[in-house]
Amino acid sequence: MTTLAITGGTGFVGQHLLRMAVEQGHQVRALTRRAQDSSDGIAWVEGALDKPDSLAHLVENADTVIHVAGRIAGTRRQFEEANVTGTANMIEAARAAGVRRFIHISSLAAREPHLSDYGWSKKLSETVVADSGLDWTIIRPPAVYGPGDRETLELFKMAKRGFVALPPAGHFSVIHVADLCRLILALPQGPESLGQTYEPDDGREGGWEHRDFARTLGHLFDRRATTLSVPKPVLHGASALDRLFRRGNAKLTADRVRYFCHPDWVVTAHKRPPQRLWTPQIGTAAGLRGTAEWYLQQGWL
């Protein structure tokens, strides 16, 4: 039985990962900032990426470290502290404990580090991992969706209303959270993945054009969703207003505007995981429908 040390277990992807890991029979040690209810198969370790003692406790007797934790909003300094220094701290803990296998969950944003502070920090975190001397694998997920996700919830809300505001024209890839977690858990048994950087997706060649994706969402609610591509200057103006009114809590930051307006967030074909290791199992139309049903059941829509 494999013992996994997992960071980010209280987040969207992490919660699904913990549940799937336990279902597969793994022993799980999970980092948490605050006390959690006891869960069968999960040993919670209170701590944080900037608390070395807690990281040492987390990786004790582990076979594999799966580093999911990361900051997705904040200042450049905050991104660096969480995504770069935090990753370095996790690597140091693994190295000190003699844990060789290290799986790092990055982001497709790392492919374009000049566009955003977030992407810059994730690219730097990848460099730290690649230089670690450990048996590493890096995963760069595209947009991840599924039950429990709040990042794509607004798109579902707009589609339900029948009007979806979109960034300028472009294409992007997506992946269901369950498919992503299946890939993560397949890696410890996949020696061919050592030293590899993978960009997984739903298998759709060329990704999704923004309007096609919005219309697919509209069909979930028996609507023909009207779409509007919002010009980049308008998005920057909205970003300035968001910062004015919500200050540090602004969600539409200039960082995110640059990210959203990039026309190509499609995974690189030759960086997809090899089929003998993993293939996506959840078609996006079915996955979106299941996600919408979950949102409705929870009263989120």
Residue 244 has pLDDT above 50, yes or no: no
Return the CA Rg of the chain: 19
Q: What's the CATH code, domain 3-140? A: 3.40.50.720
pLDDT at 167: 79
Window from 29-33, 108-112, 133-137, 190-194 with minimum mean pLDDT: 190-194
pLDDT bracket for residue 190 (50, 70, 90): confident
Distance between CA atoms of residues 20 and 17, nearest Å: 5
Distance between CA atoms of residues 266 and 233, nearest Å: 23
**In the chain, % of residues over pLDDT 70:** 90
**In the chain, % of residues over pLDDT 90:** 77
Give the DSSP H/E element, type plus range, for residue 65.
strand 64-67
pTM value? Answer: 0.93
Q: What is the mean pLDDT of residues 139-166?
A: 92
How many Cα atoms sit within 13 Å of 64 on the Cβ side? 24
Residue 114 has pLDDT above 90, yes or no: yes
Boundaries of every domain in the chain = 3-140
Confirm if 170 and 212 have CB atoms less than 8 A apart.
no
pLDDT digits (tens, 9 = 90+) for 162-174: 988 887 789 999 9
Confirm if 80 and 89 have CB atoms less than 8 A apart.
no
pLDDT at 126: 98
Residue 249 has pLDDT above 80, yes or no: no
Q: What is the mean pLDDT of residues 115-119?
A: 94
Mean pLDDT across the chain? 90
Distances (CA, A) of 47 to 10, 16, 35, 90, 123: 12, 20, 10, 12, 25
Residue 230 has pLDDT above 90, yes or no: no
pLDDT digits (tens, 9 = 90+) for 23-81: 999 999 999 998 888 888 899 999 999 999 999 999 999 999 999 999 998 889 999 99
In sequence order, the 6+-apart residues with CB closer than 8 A to the CB of 23 are none
Buried b (16+ CB within 10 A) or exposed e, 96-111: ebebebbbbbbbbbbb
SS (H, E, C) 80-134: HHHHHHHHHHHHHHHHHHCCCEEEEECCHHHHCCCCCHHHHHHHHHHHHHHCCCC
